[in-house]
Structure 1
Amino acid sequence: MLEPIGFLLLGLLLVTLGADSFVKGASGLAQGRGVGGFSAGLAMVAVGAAVPELSIAVAAVLTGHYELAVGTVIGSCIANLGLVIGVSALVKPLSTSFRLVDVALPILIGTVLALLLMGLDGGLQKLDGSLLLLAAVAFGWLIKRAASSEPEAVRKELAYAANTQTEAWRNLLRIVVGLAVLGYGAWFTIGKALKISAHYQLSDLWMGLTVLAVGAALPELAKAVVAAARGHGNVVVGSAIASSVVNLVLVLGLLALWRPVALPTSLLHVEIPALLAFALAFYPMIRRDAVVSRREGLILVLAFVAWMVWLLLPRF
């Protein structure tokens, strides 16, 4: 089974490269048309980091594997909080004055609680999907509102993150190539993930929560570590929290609106409560002094490792 595993990693690499090309192309095209670097960086932080998970979820849905999509979304959110923020804080304490975080973190906690309530009837219905998409619109409006009062340090960090070439032809090519590579990579990844899960008799939900979620988070982790080393804590924390919100309200909202999604019992009893626990644990870390210290980063990483061990041990 080494060959399918290698191909799965290749698929995740294609997803990463495609998403990066698409996001940079869209950002460069927008800046070339007069959008400021701060606004472009804000969009990249709020939405761009969620593109890999969105593509994988869409590919999973189109192949009829909804649990794989849901598992990837929930697992990615946990990885953002435990792995990405935790490891980045170990590299350098994450100081943040990003107002987006003040908006996004309560929404993240509220959305997780809402998912638990929505799932009481066994799944997400079209009405639930509509409500989640309305929450996505509200989230976008709140981000835009908060952006007007962002400190200058935040503006500089986001403008730096969005710095790219602005030639229209180059960015149109980036977008087209990026979408093609992203779509193929997501389809390829799902195919190999299903082959591995069938061979080892693993559930779609488990594959999403572990292999796909961590695989999708690793490129973001690499970017976050670089940003943390540069002292760009706002970018690290803002991207992790905002992309988690986007994953929950936009991705799950679209899935439920497309077709009602059955939620396995374990999601309501274990995985979603675990995400809630990570979010609630992180809240006082960032609210107390607006800094995620190395000690707090270590706590998050150890919690994430314990979570992964808990998921992996019964399978091996």
Structure 2
Amino acid sequence: MLMSIISLVSGFVLLIWSADAFTNNGAKIAKIFNISPLVIGLLIFGFGTSAPEMLVSGLAAYEGHPEMGIGNAFGSNIFNIALVLGITAIILPIKVKQDILKKEWVYLMISTLAAGWILLDGYLSFMDGLTLLGLLILFLFYVFRESKKDYHHEFEEVQRTSSKQDKGKTWFLLFISLVVLLTSARLIVWGGTTLAIEFGVTDLLIGLTV
């Protein structure tokens, strides 16, 4: 049990560091190639911060623990909305722009309801996966279309990397962070599944909570 806990804790620590390093260095690489701030925010920050969940869920499903993958996907969204927004609002009330309430929340509700409807039969098929990816593509199309208007989200400015030495260091850190990201995901899956067996709980519960 001790090794499982150590694996789980160390996996989370490495996951947090590697996800942050991967996102930051990916943004620097994007700036080197003069990629627009919108694409940086959408692809690098958006997908980069979701990489841990994607890796853990994908690896769990590949190793025969699909319930952990589903629990991780739903659990992370529940905690992000209920816990993160809840605590943030308690500490400092948030003023939300009306444009977000009128537009982005619609995509959030559609994707959430679609995922729930798809899972009603207790089976997530290949076509179900394509359906969810199709919703993502529609959202990406919407974001790129909106980027042509005056309204846009603000992204953190990333300093441009100029020297060849800095570029080489950035590529190296990007590669290292990706390797650590994959390793940490495997540690979390192994530690989580082992604890589930030892405590007699389901993979779904581990995925939802851990």
2:207 is paired with a residue whose SS is helix
Q: Which amino acid in 1 is paired with 2:49? A: A
| Cα displacement (A) at 1:208 | 0.2
**Unaligned segments of structure 1, at least 5 residues:** 212-316
> What corresponds to 1:31 in structure 2?
31
- CA distance 1:147–1:206, shift in 2 (3 Å): same
Distance 1:129-1:95 versus aligned 2 partners, 3 A rule: same
Superposed CA RMSD: 2.2
What are the within-5 Å matches in structure 2 for residues 1-316 of structure 1? 1-97=1-97, 99=99, 102-149=102-149, 151=151, 154-155=153-154, 158-160=155-157, 163-164=158-159, 166=161, 167-211=166-210
**1:38 and 1:159 in contact (8 A); partners too:** no
Counterpart Cα distance in 2 of 1:31 and 1:22: 14
In 1: Cα distance, 2:59 partner to 2:45 partner? 23
Q: CA deviation at 1:151?
A: 4.3
Structure 1 pair 102–149 and aligned structure 2 pair: CA distance change class (3 A): farther
Aligned counterpart, 1:274: none
Q: What TM-score does the superposition give when structure 1 sets the normalisation length?
A: 0.60
* 2:7–2:190 Cα contact (<8 Å) kept: no
| Alignment CA distance shift 1:133-1:28 (3 Å) | same
Distance of aligned partners of 1:43 and 1:102 in 2 relative to their CA distance in 1, 3 Å threshold: farther
Aligned residues, how many? 206
Percent identity for Structure 1 against Structure 2? 26
Shift of 1:47: 2.3
Could you report, residue by residue, the CA deviation over 1:35-81 in whole angstroms, capped at 9, with x for unpaired residues? 24454234344322211111111221221110000000000110010
Normalising by structure 2, we get a TM-score of: 0.87
Amino acid aligned to 1:194: T
Q: Distance in 2 between matches of 1:121 and 1:62?
A: 21
1: CA distance, partners of 2:36 / 2:156? 8
Shift of 1:210: 0.4
C-alpha distance in 2 between matches for 1:202 and 1:168 = 47
Aligned CA distance change for structure 1 residues 203 and 165 (closer, same or farther; 3 Å): farther
Rate the CA distance shift 1:196–1:164 in 2: closer, same or farther, 3 A. Answer: farther
1:25/1:175 contact within 8 Å kept: yes
Which protein has greater RCO, CA pairs closer than 8 Å, 6+ apart?
Answer: 2
Counterparts of 1:172 and 1:142, CA distance in 2: 31
SS at match of 2:64: coil
User: CA, structure 1 residues 106+170, in 2 after alignment: closer, same or farther (shift >3 Å)?
Assistant: same
1:24–1:171 contact (8 Å) kept in structure 2: no
Following the alignment from structure 2 to structure 1, what is the Cα–Cα distance between the partners of residues 171 and 102? Answer: 34
Cα distance in 2, alignment partners of residues 103 and 8 from structure 1: 38
Q: C-alpha displacement at 1:2, in angstroms?
A: 4.1
Q: Distance in 2 between matches of 1:41 and 1:99?
A: 18
Distance of 2:108 and 2:41 partners within structure 1: 21
**C-alpha displacement of 1:130:** 1.2
Contact (CA 8 Å) 1:57, 1:70: kept in 2 or not? yes
Distance 2:13 2:102 in 1: 32
* Change over 3 Å in CA distance of 1:95–1:119 after alignment to 2: same
Deviations 1:101-140 (A, max 9, x none): 6543211211222223323333122111111111111111
Q: Deviations over 1:233-256 (max 9, x none)?
A: xxxxxxxxxxxxxxxxxxxxxxxx
